[in-house]
Structure 1
Amino acid sequence: MDARKPQPGWDDLRHFLAVARTGTVSAAAAQVGTEHTTVSRRIRALERELGETLFHKSNTGYELTAAGQRLVGAAEDMESAYLAARSMAGLESQSVAGVVRIGAPDGLGAIFLAPRLKTLTERHPRLAIELMATARLFSLSKREADIAISLSMPRQMRVVSRRLTDYRLHVYGTRAYLQDSPPIRVVDDLKHHPFVSYIEDLLFAPELNYLSAVRATITPRIRSTNLLAQLYATLAGSGLCIMPTFMTADFPDLIPVLPERIALTRSFYMHIHEDNRKVRHINEVGSFIAAEIARSQALFNPPAAA
């Protein structure tokens, strides 16, 4: 009789990893695409099978025990093998199929990417896109996204990255606001105008601290963590705002202020976890994003004003 201890299967381990990465059963269920009761049942079964307690449970969520921390490495190795096998199987098919989750800053995701995804899904009818366009960082190691776009190179390990583009930002105000407000002839005049900007202590990336780069004494009157909220507050005549040129191109009422003197440059980077670098449908989406940005350079880096 074989008395060897049974080995956990991948289906149990993927539920375990989801809880380890999200910290709660409900969030893990959403990530895996099942019910929270199923996740709890899987975790209990795995703990019985291994004879170990894998999580400490509290009011705030699930925290890995020492045994759970040891299991994470083995589970991630199995996950990598599974993704590699799925990728090889996908290479045998001519169609691109599956779900790809993209994490992108709110402005780029909502204004630039969202209107272009129709082209991608029509090209690949079996491809589904989940677009998280929000002001936050995305963890590829926790599988929060398949593709993450950020303002800097990653701090995470095992990530394949590429710079997508530089992009330019200016100070903008509506035509009506600028006509009805004190004239702006030099940078120092900006201190006489209300600004719309970020909540500084909630910035998810230091690259978004624009006001310090302008070098004028500016106190925002309206602050938001969301760039779209800033855009629409500015369109309503609330004041001036520093925004990327690719966001203002469809709003001709927004006029750049001192564009020859105030022009900031930032960059977008695209990141894919090393395990997914050969997964066909993820690579197809990444290539599409890069190609769309490359052919839209007039939006990201318009010719300088004469």
Structure 2
Amino acid sequence: MSQNWDLLRFFLAVARAGSIAGAAEQLAESSATVGRKLRELEAELSATLFDRSVSGVSPTSCGRAILDHAEQIEQQMLLINEAIYDDDGLLTGTVTVAAPSGLGQTMLAPRLRELHNTHPGLQIKLLLSTAKVNLLNREADIAVRIGQPGQERLVGRKLGSVGFGIYASRLYLDDIEPFETVKDLDGHNIVAASGALAQTAQCREFALLSERCNVALTTDSLLAQLEAVKSGLGIAPFPKYLAQAHPDLVELLPGQLQTTADLWMLTHPDMRNLARIQTVQEFIFQICQERQATKTKTLPASGMKPARPTAVSA
């Protein structure tokens, strides 16, 4: 058996993606190349590693038998690369960070120039999709998530607690009497949530408070909701870190929304000791600490105390 790491790398990508096409997208290779590499590995092992179907691929018993070993080899290759980088005194490579879209836009993206200036060899890939990435399948290296972590075996660090409020634009509030009670919301326009956004705790709480309001727009996008509110269309709930990044928004009935959610930074346990991962994690943590120090209240100060990384589970 003379297979090399390159062939195992393709094997792992297919196993994690569940399809040749998905692996090709992750590896930035053609499907033909991925298929050829997989056939080469199967020929060298004299074994079929995946069952093929119209819906994708799934590991055979042989594939499952070597999966853990392939991941261990992957980890050793990462450590070898880290040793080389550390010897040169430079950090290089790509770190993929997944975060909620609003948080990524307002807190992370504006600060990444600082990280690049300090470590120009680091490349940050910022994923702001509403879909939750699977860290165990290496879809990202670091995930910043609002709410309790839901994947087992991940290493987590609590960054703080996110507060929520009800907001309208100054344009919408022109010539309107101040809001003093929840009843003052009656008859006003709201920008309602749909899809996964509607299932968030703050949107469910706001839905109960706004039953007598006019629904001017429904959307499953937080950023579309934000832009609609900024335009003066209506009222909606937002995380405070997002709303406070837009001075034209005014919080109505402060303290009315009781919803809070913990903010976590998560990574795969095999990645936690890599220098580039640790560097990016510390950078993200410092952003949150600076928010507290400057008293912007993007995150409630009570949730911003430093915390040691801990293993988390569902």
- Structure 1 position 237, deviation (Å): 1.6
Residue identity opposite 1:253 in structure 2: D
- Match of residue 3 from structure 1: none
TM-score (norm 2): 0.86
1:8/1:152 CA distance change after superposition, 3 Å? farther
- Match of residue 10 from structure 1: 5
State whether residues 10 and 37 of structure 2, in contact with CA within 8 Å, keep that contact through their aligned partners in structure 1: yes
- Match of residue 212 from structure 1: 204
- Match of residue 135 from structure 2: 140
Helix, strand or coil: the match of 1:192? coil
Cα distance in 2 for partners of 1:302, 1:21 equals: 37
State whether residues 166 and 265 of structure 1, in contact with CA within 8 Å, keep that contact through their aligned partners in structure 2: yes
**CA deviation profile, 1:80-110 (whole Å, cap 9, x unmatched):** 2222333333332311111111100101111
Listed as ranges, the gaps of 5+ residues in structure 1 are 1-5
Cα distance in 2 for partners of 1:197, 1:116 equals: 31
Listed as ranges, the gaps of 5+ residues in structure 2 are 302-314
- Structure 1 position 139, deviation (Å): 1.0
Q: Choose which of 155, 179, 186 in structure 1 pairs with 2:150.
A: 155
- Match of residue 174 from structure 2: 179
Residue identity opposite 2:158 in structure 1: R
1:88/1:152 CA distance change after superposition, 3 Å? farther
Cα distance in 2 for partners of 1:128, 1:231 equals: 29
Q: Choose which of 85, 89, 97 in structure 2 pairs with 1:90.
A: 85
- Structure 1 position 195, deviation (Å): 2.1
Cα distance in 1 for partners of 2:82, 2:245 equals: 39
- Match of residue 283 from structure 2: 288
Cα distance in 2 for partners of 1:209, 1:60 equals: 34
Is residue 2:313 matched to residue 1:300? no
Cα distance in 2 for partners of 1:83, 1:289 equals: 22
* Greater mean alpha carbon deviation, residues 279-288 or residues 242-251: 242-251
Residue identity opposite 1:294 in structure 2: Q
Cα distance in 2 for partners of 1:265, 1:288 equals: 24
- Taking the TM superposition and a 5 Å limit, the aligned residue runs for 1:32-51 are 32-51=27-46
* Greater mean alpha carbon deviation, residues 6-15 or residues 161-170: 6-15
**CA deviation profile, 1:258-293 (whole Å, cap 9, x unmatched):** 014335322210011111111111111111011011
- Match of residue 99 from structure 1: 94
CA RMSD of aligned residues (A): 2.3
Number of residue-to-residue matches in the alignment: 295
Is residue 2:75 matched to residue 1:118? no
* Greater mean alpha carbon deviation, residues 274-283 or residues 191-200: 191-200
Cα distance in 1 for partners of 2:79, 2:186 equals: 56
Cα distance in 2 for partners of 1:34, 1:162 equals: 34
Identity of aligned residues (%): 34
Cα distance in 1 for partners of 2:255, 2:210 equals: 19
1:283/1:302 CA distance change after superposition, 3 Å? closer
1:252/1:154 CA distance change after superposition, 3 Å? closer
Cα distance in 2 for partners of 1:273, 1:290 equals: 17
- Match of residue 109 from structure 1: 104
State whether residues 165 and 294 of structure 1, in contact with CA within 8 Å, keep that contact through their aligned partners in structure 2: no
State whether residues 106 and 226 of structure 1, in contact with CA within 8 Å, keep that contact through their aligned partners in structure 2: no
